[in-house]
Amino acid sequence: MKFFLDTAEIDDIRELAASGLVDGVTTNPSLIMKSGRDIFEVTKEICDAVDGPVSAEATALDYDGILREADKLYDISDQITLKVPLTVDGLKACKHFTSQGKMVNVTLCFSASQALLAAKAGATFISPFIGRHDDISQDGMALIEDIRVIYDNYNFSTEILVASIRHPLHVVDAARIGADVATIPPAVMHKLFRHPLTDSGLEAFLKDWEKTGQSIA
């Protein structure tokens, strides 16, 4: 399973990329707004900080407008994955670019039928938003299960990129289902490392080690 970071905060990305566990990054217009940065500058810095796909979202809604924005976004780096919305024009643009061998992430997916369309449009990644489903008392993870079954039935190569992750259990459940990628906010990524028994176990080991008076280094 690949781990992407779901943020445009360059300091967080650099810190977590140093762990060697980050396989890519996803951004969206809201994350760019939160970063306070220019989209082209920060996206270039993100591409330099990680090895792997970096999703940058087009904001035009019409096909020609998406194509115009895409040219500028793809120019930033070979790592750029164009993010398009799950609309007729978005999927048309998806087909256009993936048939040229470029990466496209279809975003704002909320149903299995939408995910099926994205796969038929040749999407590199489909982004079902599970947290936003959970927010309205619907089972976001059930959608991931459905998409996994459908994609496996037809051997679609589109990767399931679980988005709108809110907590570590979302990551574990997505892994259990066999999702290809989880895009994870930095705060949730930090929580994945933590367990109180790891902390207390470490503390006890270090106390006992001190009593031995020995040193390894």
Spatial CB neighbours of 204, under 8 Å, sequence gap ≥ 6: none
Closest to ligand E4P by CB, 135 or 199: 135
Applying CB under 6 A, which part among 72-80, 112-120, 126-134, 138-146 lies near ligand E4P? 126-134
The gap from C-alpha 101 to its chain's centroid, in whole angstroms, comes to: 20
Site string for ligand E4P, 165-184 (x = CB under 6 A): ------------------x-
Active site residue 83: yes
Closest to ligand E4P by CB, 98 or 127: 127
Angle at 185 between CA 183 and CA 191, to 5 degrees: 110
- Site for ligand E4P contains 132 (CB under 6 A): yes
Q: How far is the CB of 208 from ligand E4P (least distance, A)?
A: 43
Q: What is the DSSP string of 123-187?
A: -SEEEEBHHHHHHTT--HHHHHHHHHHHHHHHT---EEEEBS--SHHHHHHHHHHT-SEEEE-HH
- Site for ligand E4P contains 43 (CB under 6 A): no
Residue 129: DSSP 8-state: B
Judged by CB under 6 A, the residue of 7, 114, 124, 127 near ligand E4P is: 127
Q: What are phi and psi of 54, to 5 degrees?
A: -125, 115
Both structure tokens of 186: 């930095």
- Site for ligand E4P contains 114 (CB under 6 A): no
Residue 53: DSSP 8-state: -
Residue tagged active-site, from 2, 34, 72, 83: 83
- Site for ligand E4P contains 98 (CB under 6 A): no
Query: Which residues are identified as catalytic?
Result: 83
Interface with ligand E4P (CB under 6 A): 6, 26, 28, 107, 127, 129, 131-132, 163-164, 183
